[in-house]
Amino acid sequence: MSKILVTDGMDKEAVQTLKNMGYEIVEQFFGPEELKKQVKNFNVMVVRSATKVRKEIIDSAVETGNLKLIIRGGVGLDNIDVSYAESKGIKVRNTPNASSLAVAELALGHMFSLARFIGISNVTMREGKWNKKKYKGIEICGKTLGIVGFGRIGQELATKAYALGMKILYNDVLGPNREFPKCTFVTLDELLSKADFISLHIPGNGDKSPLIGKKEFSKMKDGAYLINCARGSVVDEQALLEALNSGKLAGAGLDVFVEEPTSNLDLIKHERVSLTPHIGASTKEAQKRIGEEIVSIIKENF
């Protein structure tokens, strides 16, 4: 009987499905030192973003040779040393299809929150303030959305934003996508200079260097909005704060941070920042789809 370690939680129906199929499931989060001991006993490990599967963990698994498969319940694989694991004969898979819709909707939610002061209004009204005259927002319709990274999530966001009357510009390392003729492929510099809203949907660099820093902020339109539901390392947080404080940016919507949980209080308390604690894929529907995809991956490999 194959043993599966689920470290960061998983859809209950999917767990039950695996149990019904005869797999032994252990749902338990372990810190790095304990995980090095425990991983030796399992054939499959299912993680989300909290568990980091680095070289030391993989080396421990190799000692017994039991671990054959690591599954990331989500899209990004930056918390797993993928190439090292695969060099040791351990397959690494993710669930790229399951959470695209949820992340795209959250990015759109941040856009609405910033455009109409929804987040800060919730705060100030609870403080007894009635800032009706202060919160004069803008309409999404007619604005230009620049999407950096035009994979599944970027495409979902483009479809929804276009339906709301937005003009869509996008940039992607793979070049133009002919399946989206109503969206316009542009260079990154052109996107930065023309977009009213810029939404990031790209993986972080291997060296953790930011794609969006002081230089990129200087190229943006005055009063633009930045949305990051990708990876915290993609944005230089200090440069972001400078852009917000100078008025270069009108606001930022953030679901991810360089450090998680974040301790950047200047960012957390900024009145023109809309915040969520890395919940892009945290919908009932997305978690169900992720669970189903995990089950499918395990069935294919065992």
Give the residue numbers marked as catalytic: 231, 259, 278
Q: How far is the C-alpha of 18 from the C-alpha of 24, rounded, in Å?
A: 8
List, as one string, the DSSP characters of 176-212.
--TT-TTSEE--HHHHHHH-SEEEE--PPPTT---SB
Contact 182, 168 (CB under 8 A): yes
Contact 98, 88 (CB under 8 A): no
Task: Give the HSE-up count for residue 241: Cα atoms under 13 Å, Cβ half-sphere.
Answer: 10
Q: In terms of C-beta density within 10 A (0-12 exposed, 13-18 middle, 19 or more buried), how is residue 177 classed?
A: middle
Task: Give the HSE-up count for residue 124: Cα atoms under 13 Å, Cβ half-sphere.
Answer: 14
Among 276, 107, 120, residue whose Cα is nearest residue 198: 107
Q: How far is the C-alpha of 30 from the C-alpha of 223, rounded, in Å?
A: 44
Q: Is the omega angle on the peptide bond into residue 261 within 30 degrees of 0, that is, cis?
A: yes
- Describe the strand order of the beta sheet including 24-27 as a list of residue ranges: 24-27, 3-6, 44-47, 69-72, 91-94
Q: Name the CA dihedral angle for 286, 288, 292, 293, rounded to a multiple of 10 degrees.
A: 20
What Å distances lie between residue 145 and 142, 170, 197, 293, CA to CA? 9, 8, 5, 31
